[in-house]
Structures are given as C-alpha cells and as structure tokens.
Structure 1
Amino acid sequence: MTCMKELDWKILIVLYEKRSISKTAEALYLTQSAVTKRLKNIETEWGINVIHRSNQGVTFTEDGIYLTQKASIMMDFLREIREHYAQRECQKEVLTVGIPNSFSRLHFPEALSKYIECFDRLDIRLIPSSSEVVLQKLMDGSVDIGFVCGDYPYLGEKEPLMDENLYLLVPAGMPLDEVERQPFIQWKMNPLVEMIRDQWWKSQYGGLPHQSYQVPFADIAIEMVEKGLGVTTLFGDKWRIDHEKAQLIQTYDEQGNKVSRKVWMMLSDRCFQNPDISDFVSLIEEYFGVNK
C-alpha cells in the first residue's frame, strides 16, 4: 500500500509543469529542500528514479512520467472522495413542519432562529396551511410536526404551547359603542377559531358580525383598519400595527375572563425516533415555557 501523501502527488504534477525544483517549491509554498526530500521518499517507496537533474533543469524518467500521469488520476480520486464526504456532512435530516399563517408570522421565526443558533442539525421544511389541514397532513404522514391553533382532537402526543388572546382592532380613537356599526373585515381563520370569535361577538352585540370585506390574511385586514375601512379581530398582540392609526382592545367573556385560543404542538411518532428531532421539540418546549 502506498504511503504517498496528497502533497506528493501535487509535487509530481507541478514539477512536471515547471521542470524546476525551485519553481515547484515556490508554487507550493515549500522550501526546495522539502521538495527534494519528498521526491527522494517517492523514489525510495517505489524503487525508481523519478527525475534526472542537469544544468538545463529537471528531466523526467519513463517511470517518473508514468507516476505523474497517475498523479492526476489520484488527485481526481482524492477530490471525489473529499466531495463525497463533504456532501454527506452537509446532508441533514429533513423535518417537515405544518404551520398556520399567523403562527409562522408571529412566533416561529424567533423560535427557529434560536434552534439554528443552538443546534442547526435539521433541514426544516415548512408546510404553510390552516390548522385543520395541518392536522390532516399530520395524520396522513405528510408532516412530522404540526402547530395547530384551537382544540382539535388528536390521539397522538401533543403539547400546549400558549393561550393566545383575542383582540379587537379598531381605528385609533374610535368609541367602543360605534364598533358594532362598522364594516367588519374578515380574514381567513380556521373554523374552530372563527367559532370562538363569533361566540364572543354575539355575546357582546347580540348577533354575528356583518361582514363587509373578506381578505386572505390578517396583515391585509390590519392595513385596512389603519386606513379607517372597518374593524377586525386578531389572535395575539405581536402583529405589526401602526398604533397611531389603530388600537388593540382586549376581549373578555361574560365572566370577565380573557377570550383566547390554545396553540398546540402536535407530534408524529417519528419525533421520538430521531434524537435530532427530539432536540428540536425540546427547544420549542423550552422557548414557549412548556411544563414550567
């Protein structure tokens, strides 16, 4: 088995090109004596003469030419091995996460940043969808972890992450007795959470809100409220709001309790079979203060 190092093969290739010990040493940032010593080791290992030296420079022997030709093959071979293991090192276990729009905007970026800072051993792929679709994907195996807003039934392992309060968003300075008469801006919520909102509204105003606008995302509804086009409701108080143009009002039920929805992390069996995924789950639990 050859004891030649990668540097030995490089020396042969560069020396064949330069035909000069001094220029080879300069190109490889070595001393001339180091190049000469390694050439001698090569010749000893194979029992051959690699070069002849003369006043005209370096001349390669027939054996030297053969070995130099193989040097290019060896360098390609070593580069292929290096790239193979480098690629394998970069390949991370894929974790698919189902996540509703509001949770992905308000809470997940900071939690993900914390995970990357502490571990960063997973290729996390987000599957955005509504909570009921996230739950369906979790049950059919399309996602490994699902973040779900509302008390949906799930027979697998799940963790309550937080209670997210319901707020009324109205134009700044609007008297509360005018809210009921304002156009209501409806953005897409899952049916279970929408029911919480509707029950609160009915308890306050005696009926369901009179929908005037329907938009896909809460961000659009917020902007419309800021422009004085109506009122809307939001779960959570971390939305980007211009408080000079709109105000958040906490909602309460008839018993004086804050109206809220529960946010869950629901786990597939795979979460307990992979230590890297378990680390991700533990970090999310720690971030949201689960079991504290």
Structure 2
Amino acid sequence: MEDLNWIILKELYRQKNITKTAESLFISQPSLTNRLRQIEKEFGVLIVHRGRRGVHFTPEGEYLAKCADEMITRLRKIKDHVLNMENQVVGTLRLAVTNLITRKTLPRLLKLFKDRYPSVEFKVMTGWSKDVFHLIYNQEVHVGFVRGEYAWPGQKYLLSEEAICIASKEELQLERLPYLSRIDYQTDPLFKSLIDKWWTEHYTQPPYIGMEVDKSETCREMLLNGLGYAILPHSVLGDAESLFKQDLLDAEGQPIVRRTWMYYHEETLELNLVRTFVEFVKALDLKEGL
C-alpha cells in the first residue's frame, strides 16, 4: 500500500472526520474518499462507517490505523536506505526543532548546509521540547534539537548551555520577589518545573502573577516597558542592556543552566545524509545563535 494511504488512515483516525482530514492533508474530499475505497478493496474489509458526527472505524479499520505509524516509519527507512546506496548526500532530512531555535538559529544553519549540499531537502517539525523529544524518540525524524534534560537513550551532542536569570527594568531585591508583579509566559513543562523548583526552595508563598502572555518574546517586550519582572533564559533577552539581570543560583551558589542538545539515533548515522548533517553541526559554532 502507498505511504500516502497509511498517512490518510493515521490522520483520519486522529480527526474522525473526512472534511478535516482532507483539509489537513491538502487533498480534496473526493480524492480522500476514493483512496479509502481503494484501501478497503485492497484488504477486502470495511474501514469506516459514516455518521452525522463524523466517521466510526470498524475493528478492521482501527487495526490498520494503528499499524500506520509502523508502516510509515518502515517505508521512510526503506527510501532512506535506497538513496543511501548511491553514497551521496541526497534526500530529505527530517528535523524536529524547538520553537526558539527555529526562530533564532535554524534558518542560518539550513542555508549553510543547503549551500554545501544542494540536493538535500528538509522537512522541519517545530514545537516545545517535549514534542521534539517525542518525535525523535519514536524515530519520526532523523535529528532533534532539544532544550532541557530528558532521559534520552540514544546519541546526543551538547550544543550550548545558558544561565537562567531574573530580569527587570529596575534593580530588584530578591527577598521582595513574592510581592512584585511577575510576567509569566507559556513555556515547556520541563523548563517550568525547573523554575518552580527554584522558587519553592527560596520562598514559602507562590509568586504574584501580574500578567500572562503567550511566549517568551512577548514577555521580553513587556519587560522592556517596565511592566514587571520575569524569569527567562539569557538567549531570550539578547542584548537588552537596559534590563537588570540576576542569575538563578542553586544551593551551592552555582548558576542554574539550561542546556541545548542535538539528539539522534546511532543507527541513523549509517545514512550518509544524517551522518553528514550531524558532523556539519558539530563543526559549526552555534553557541552564539542558540
């Protein structure tokens, strides 16, 4: 069966809706319906029942949908290895990258790699570090760029580490922090737990959240306008010299750092494309961009 058919089964099982599935895969509803009929004909079973509120999978259809991930991964590996037999750096490199790295570093990195290896294409998936970890762990991508410490069983390479600091427009006294207005923002759960752990080790009362924003870059702009303080990695603050910064320290008085890693599976280095990219990244000095 074609890989697109497996992708359709996977997405339809997630959406439980023909229209939404067609839209998410950028194909027409008639084309999707036709492919479903082809799958049913190929396996000789009914895949779904249609209802007013969407589709309902038959037991046979549910089994095939649950096989989709395995089959998609297997087909990708077959294609990778066929291209690898030519001993050239060609094909599609699949990457999972955190949001911050995507904005700050990835475009420059991919341009440099593309300039050297013009036959390479990229498929990039972005999200929080937990999402990136899930994608690389399940081998849905070749390489993942992850911020934070995860229990990773494969190969990894340290790209950078940075201190986490309390930042504000005006100089602050740390003992006064629980009474001051904090700007909070959406972030990765692992990073949030790191901040929460530091807080509970130093204060007996919760922080006063005076403002909540969508992302760290928005938080930075609020800081620059004197609307409160925030706890952020140094990379988000950049060269904002008008802000006062105080590093978070652990019990031994050492700065609490957040590391950025490149994760990959050992066996994927057998692919020329992946091995070349990993070696390329290691040879670059990305610390300024991360």
Q: For the superposition of Structure 1 and Structure 2, which TM-score range results when normalised by the shorter chain?
A: 0.5 to 0.7
- Cα separation, partners in 2 of 1:211 and 1:254, compared to 1, 3 Å: same
Quick one: which amino acid aligns to residue 98 of structure 1? A
Show the counterpart of 1:125. Answer: 123
CA distance in 2, matches of 1:256, 1:222: 26
Please give the per-residue CA displacement for 1:79-133, whole angstroms capped at 9, x wherever unaligned. xxxxxxxxxxxx9511121111122234434433433344444212221111111
Change (3 A) 1:183 1:261: same
TM-score (norm 1): 0.60
* Counterpart check, 1:156 vs 2:154: yes
What TM-score comes out, normalization by structure 2 length? 0.60
* 1:115–1:130 Cα change, 3 Å: same
**Is 1:114 matched up with 2:112?**
yes
Q: Which residue of 2 aligns with 1:199?
A: 197
Give the aligned partner of residue 223 of structure 2: 225
Distance 1:280 1:121 in 2: 13
CA distance in 1, matches of 2:281, 2:98: 16
* Cα separation, 1, equivalents of 2:104 and 2:178: 28
> What are the superposed Cα offsets for residues 192-243 of structure 1, whole Å, 9 maximum, x if unpaired?
2212112222333344433333222110111111122211111233544543
Q: Which residue of 2 aligns with 1:257?
A: 254
The count of aligned residue pairs is 199
Aligned counterpart for 1:99 among listed residues 97, 100, 104: 97
Alignment CA distance shift 1:171-1:156 (3 Å): same
Mapped to 1, the partners of 2:119 and 2:178 lie a distance apart of 50
SS class of match (1:126): strand
Alignment of 1:26-65 (within 5 A): none
Aligned to 1:243: 241
Whether contact under 8 Å (1:150, 1:263) holds in the other structure is yes
Whether contact under 8 Å (2:90, 2:273) holds in the other structure is no
The residue number in structure 1 matching 2:278 is 281
Shift of 1:135: 1.3
Question: What is aligned with 2:168?
Answer: 170
Query: Over alpha carbons, which structure has the higher Rg?
Result: 1
How many Å separate the matches in 2 of 1:118 and 1:261? 31
RMSD: 2.7
Partner SS, residue 109 of structure 2: helix
Counterpart residue number, 1:28: none
Cα distance in 2 between the residues matched to 1:175 and 1:251: 13
- State yes or no: 1:272 paired with 2:262: no
Q: Structure 1: give runs of 5+ residues left out of the alignment.
A: 1-90
Q: Are the equivalent residues in 2 in contact too, given 1:169–1:248 (CA < 8 A)? A: yes
Is the counterpart of residue 147 in structure 1 residue 145 in structure 2? yes
Question: How far did 1:152 drift?
Answer: 1.0
C-alpha distance 227-143 of structure 1, shift in aligned 2 (>3 A): same
How far, CA to CA, are the matches of 1:207 and 1:104 in structure 2? 36
| 2:179–2:207 CA contact under 8 A, matched in 1 | no
- Flag as ranges the 4+ runs of structure 1 deviating above 6 A: none
SS in 2 for 1:103: helix
